[in-house]
Each structure stands twice: as C-alpha cells, then as structure tokens.
C-alpha cells in the first residue's frame, strides 16, 4: 500500500516531513574501487580498459575494436524496423527544434564611462556521453544527451556504451547515428569514464561527460569532476501528479506507474483535493499492476514509496509540490497554466491531462534528463548550455580607466594586493603625464 496522507490530519506535517526525507536508495560505497580503476586507466591506458572490460563485461576487445566500426554500425542500424526508425527520427527532429531555441546570445554594450562590456558563448570542443548497457540502455537517452551537444556546436561527440557479453542494442547505435555522434566505444563503468576524462592511446580525452549510469559510473563522474565537466549525479527519480476529480483515474494511474516501472526506488506521488478521487486512482493502480509487464519493479516502488495526498485546495498542492521539488510534475487540472505559474521548483512540468509524462520522455521536445531527488531546488534539466561556456569581455578606454581605475586601486590596496593596484596605477600615471 502506498501512503495515504491528508493535510487536514493533525499529524500531517510530521508524516509529510518524514516522507520527504525517506531515503530511497542506498548507493553502495564503491569509491575506493572506482579510485583504483581510474588510477589504473590513467597508468596503463588501453591495456587497463581492455582488461577491465573483459573482467566486467566478459567481452574480449583490442585497441582496434574498442570502438564500433562504420560497417558494424551500418549492420546493426539495418536491423531496426521502419516504425522504430521513424519514431526515433520524429523524436530527434522535435528534440532538435526545442533545443535550438536554447542557443544563447552573445552581448556587447558600452557603458557611461566608455567601457565596452559583454560576453561570448562558445561550445565545448569534445563531449562524451555515457549510455548504460543492458536493461537501461535507452535510445531515447542517446538522443536527449547527444542532440543538445550537437546543437551547441560540439566538434567531437563520442559515446561509451558497455555491451556485456557482446549484446548490442541496435536502437542505441541508430539513435547515435541520427544524432550525429562521431564514435561509439563499447566500454562502460568507471573504466569508460576514466578513459573519456584522461584519454588512452585509442580514446581521445573529452572536456565534458554527461549521461546516467550505475553507482560505479556516478562515483567515477564525481571523481573526474574538475578535470572535465560533468552533468548532474542522477538519483532515484520521481513524478508528482496534481489532479482534480475531473480526471479519469486510470489515466492518472498509468502516469504514476510510468515512473514506478523505471526502478524500485522511483517515487510516484498523487496530490488531489478530492480524497475519493485519490482512492479511485489507487484502485486503478492496483488493477493495472495485476497485468503490467514490469509489475515486479513498479509494485514495490508504488507500495514502498508511492503516496496519495489529499489537500484542501490547489494552492496547498503547489506548496507541497515545491517541498518535493519533483523531477516530473503533471498538472491535470482545469487551468494548468495558472497553477504552473505558482510552481517554484520542478524539473519539467506537463500541463493538462492530455500531456502524460511519457510524451516528455520521448517526443515532446524538452529534455528528459532532469534533476532528481529534490535537486530541482537548485539545478535544471540538461540543455544546450551544458555544452557551452561563456567568456566575459571587458575593454577599458583611457577615459573609462580614469573613471573607475582609482576605485580598483583603493580596493586592491585594502586587500593587500599591491601588484593589482600597481597595474592600474602604471596606466593612470601615464594618463596624468599625458595630461
């Protein structure tokens, strides 16, 4: 049974606070193992990567076969049925169109002193995308990571995807080709992250690593952060649905299950002003669970971490939602725009009952790599900006330096940074000499 909470209950605040802090994932401490793997890859390069891939993925490779060849990619891609190919192409086109709107603008202006100020955006030169192998090897995630990088203008884009026992997902390779990925390495785990960050004889190092992975991948990304850029460290994900009684309980039920089926530690939450509707949704969930393919995952997720919360009105619903700061937020209410404008913290908002969250996972256009585990309080979904960086620009005229230089000199002296002050003073003296 999921938790049933009602904001009118006297113990609600205590129960909701406890619900918020319930730990859903016990990440194993693999930090030492990962540190050793990274050190090994830095020291022995390809040899270490090949040895570790043989050990963990039972896959013998050589430097020449670390990456898929063009012919192999061609062959695998040819295996994909037309319907799936077309769906991937539609998704890619929509994701591209959305992300192109994110391209930031450069700026330049002159202020009252005559100083010219501004900034300029440039792409990261090379990016590496991590794609999990096995069950969680999602072609949609390839598109969601690779397309923003391409739109940003990344010159060299590579993927690392493990293929345990040599099992390859042709859709992943097709998604990579559609997105314009240059090279696909069949390596995974901490050894792949280390190879991308530091390079080996065969794998050229990249500047930024993104993409989800298991505990080893997450620990490796945390360790190489600084040497390269990384995206977020993904935690267990969640959906929160705010729905009034005008909805079909079964629609809301499958929406909740579409999160629960990802992972036993995923979380699905319904907030509704109608207690009876909440019960109806919970019943619909149970009914769907009887036949759902992934009921062995979705069932425990819903029972252990799911919740149905009854509130007195929609204002209270948004306030509670902000405390959850959900990765995905569905607003199945009469005026979803009005409700949306009240929300402060959410990774992605899906407005109205005709927008199931699954649309956003594949073909909506916005990115499905989103901040999990309450991190929407301070971070955003993956975007073109994650593959770009901003250089600030400043040019002083002699007049501008005369106007603001003395203040800089004063502050430099107050911070005991004499050379800072001298670098301004040398120029101010010249101006004074020249009169």
CA distance 36 to 47: 15
* 130 has binding-site annotation: yes
Q: Does 255 contact a second copy by CB under 8 A? A: yes
Q: Does 88 contact a second copy by CB under 8 A? A: yes
* 259 has binding-site annotation: yes
Token look-up 């009105």 returns 313
Q: Does 39 contact a second copy by CB under 8 A? A: no
* 305 has binding-site annotation: no
What 3-state DSSP class applies to 415? Answer: coil
Q: Does 79 contact a second copy by CB under 8 A? A: no
* 420 has binding-site annotation: yes
Using the rule CB under 8 A, which residue among 247, 258, 265, 272 binds a second copy? Answer: 258
Residues near 157 by beta carbon (within 8 Å), at least 6 away in sequence? 126, 127, 129, 146, 149, 150, 179, 180, 181, 182
Q: Does 116 contact a second copy by CB under 8 A? A: yes
Strands 183-185 and 156-160: parallel
Closest approach of Cβ 144 to a second copy, in Å?
12
Using the rule CB under 8 A, which residue among 125, 167, 182, 287 binds a second copy? Answer: 125
Site residues for a second copy, window 4-23 (CB under 8 A)? none
Backbone angle region of 153, left / alpha / beta, with phi > 0 → left and psi within -120 to 50 → alpha:
left
Contact of 350 with 330, CB cutoff 8 Å: yes
Closest approach of Cβ 422 to a second copy, in Å?
5
In terms of CB distance, is 251 or 277 closer to a second copy?
Answer: 251
Beta bridge partners of 238: 267
Would you give the DSSP letter of residue 113? T
Site residues for a second copy, window 345-384 (CB under 8 A)? 345-367, 370-371, 373, 375-381, 383
Site residues for a second copy, window 186-215 (CB under 8 A)? 207-208
Q: Please state the separation of Cα 303 from the chain's center in Å.
A: 27
- Tell me the window of 18-26, 63-71, 78-86, 310-318 that interacts with a second copy (CB under 8 A): 78-86
CA-to-CA dists, residue 3 to 118, 272, 316, 400, angstroms: 52, 14, 18, 64
In terms of CB distance, is 43 or 377 closer to a second copy?
Answer: 377
Closest approach of Cβ 62 to a second copy, in Å?
27
Residues near 140 by beta carbon (within 8 Å), at least 6 away in sequence? 91, 175, 361, 362, 368
Total residues binding a second copy (CB under 8 A): 128
CA-to-CA dists, residue 364 to 178, 259, 353, angstroms: 17, 17, 14
- Tell me the window of 17-25, 36-44, 109-117, 187-195 that interacts with a second copy (CB under 8 A): 109-117
Closest approach of Cβ 51 to a second copy, in Å?
25
- Tell me the window of 16-24, 158-166, 308-316, 414-422 that interacts with a second copy (CB under 8 A): 414-422
Closest approach of Cβ 298 to a second copy, in Å?
7
Written as six digits, the tokens of 118 are 């501004």
Using the rule CB under 8 A, which residue among 48, 49, 66, 91 binds a second copy? Answer: 91
Using the rule CB under 8 A, which residue among 260, 270, 309, 320 binds a second copy? Answer: 260
In terms of CB distance, is 47 or 115 closer to a second copy?
Answer: 115
Q: Does 405 contact a second copy by CB under 8 A? A: yes
Catalytic residues: 327-328
* 79 has binding-site annotation: no
Closest approach of Cβ 70 to a second copy, in Å?
24
Contact of 344 with 322, CB cutoff 8 Å: yes
Contact of 132 with 164, CB cutoff 8 Å: no
Rg of the Cα trace of the chain? 26
Would you give the DSSP letter of residue 80? S
* 102 has binding-site annotation: no
In terms of CB distance, is 53 or 267 closer to a second copy?
Answer: 267
Closest approach of Cβ 339 to a second copy, in Å?
12
Q: Does 292 contact a second copy by CB under 8 A? A: yes
Site residues for a second copy, window 311-340 (CB under 8 A)? 336-337, 340
> Mask 229-248, x = binds a second copy (CB under 8 A)?
x--xx-x------------x
Beta bridge partners of 391: 120
CA distance 249 to 162: 40
Say how many residues make up the chain: 435
**Closest-CA residue to 105 (of 124, 125, 93, 122):** 122
C-alpha dihedral over 382, 134, 174, 131, to 10 degrees?
A: 30
In terms of CB distance, is 246 or 410 closer to a second copy?
Answer: 410
CA distance 90 to 45: 39
Q: Which residues are annotated as a binding site for Zn(2+)?
A: 259, 262, 361, 420
């Amino acid at each position: 049974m999921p938790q049933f909470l009602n904001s009118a209950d006297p113990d609600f605040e205590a129960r909701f606070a406890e619900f918020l802090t319930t730990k859903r994932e016990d990440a194993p401490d693999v930090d030492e193992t990962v540190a050793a793997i990274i050190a090994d890859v830095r020291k022995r390069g390809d040899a270490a990567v090949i040895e570790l891939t043989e050990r963990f993925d039972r896959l013998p490779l050589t430097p020449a076969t670390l990456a898929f060849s063009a012919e192999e990619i061609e062959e695998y891609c040819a295996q994909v049925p037309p319907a799936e190919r077309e769906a991937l192409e539609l998704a890619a086109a929509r994701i591209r169109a959305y992300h192109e709107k994110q391209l930031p603008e450069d700026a330049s202006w002159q202020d009252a002193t005559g100083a010219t100020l501004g900034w300029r955006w440039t792409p990261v030169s090379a990016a590496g995308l991590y794609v999990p192998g096995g069950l969680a090897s999602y072609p949609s995630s390839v598109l969601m990571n690779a397309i923003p990088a391409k739109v940003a203008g990344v010159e060299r884009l590579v993927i690392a995807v493990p293929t345990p026992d040599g099992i390859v997902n042709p859709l992943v390779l097709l998604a990579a080709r559609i997105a314009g990925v240059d090279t696909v390495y069949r390596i995974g785990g901490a050894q792949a992250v280390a190879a991308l960050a530091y390079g080996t004889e065969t794998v050229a190092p990249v500047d930024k690593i993104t993409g989800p992975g298991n505990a080893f991948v997450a620990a490796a990304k945390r360790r190489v952060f600084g040497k390269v850029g990384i995206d977020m460290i993904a935690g267990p994900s969640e959906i929160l649905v705010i729905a009034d009684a005008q909805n079909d309980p079964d629609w809301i039920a499958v929406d909740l299950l579409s999160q629960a089926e990802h992972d036993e530690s995923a979380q699905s939450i319904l907030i509704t002003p109608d207690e009876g509707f909440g019960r109806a949704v919970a019943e619909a969930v149970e009914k769907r669970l009887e036949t759902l393919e992934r009921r062995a995952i979705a069932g425990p997720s819903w029972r252990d971490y799911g919740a149905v919360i009854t509130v007195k009105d929609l204002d209270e619903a948004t306030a509670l939602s902000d405390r959850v700061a959900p990765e995905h937020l569905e607003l199945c209410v009469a005026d979803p725009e009005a409700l949306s404008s009240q929300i402060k913290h959410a990774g992605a908002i899906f407005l109205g009952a005709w927008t199931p969250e699954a649309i956003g996972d594949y073909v909506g256009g916005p990115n499905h790599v989103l901040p999990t585990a309450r991190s929407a309080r301070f971070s955003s979904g993956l975007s073109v900006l994650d593959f770009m960086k901003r250089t600030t620009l400043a040019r002083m005229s002699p007049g501008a330096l005369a106007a603001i230089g003395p203040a800089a000199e004063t502050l430099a002296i107050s911070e005991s940074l004499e050379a800072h002050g001298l670098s301004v003073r040398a120029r101010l003296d010249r101006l004074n000499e020249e009169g």
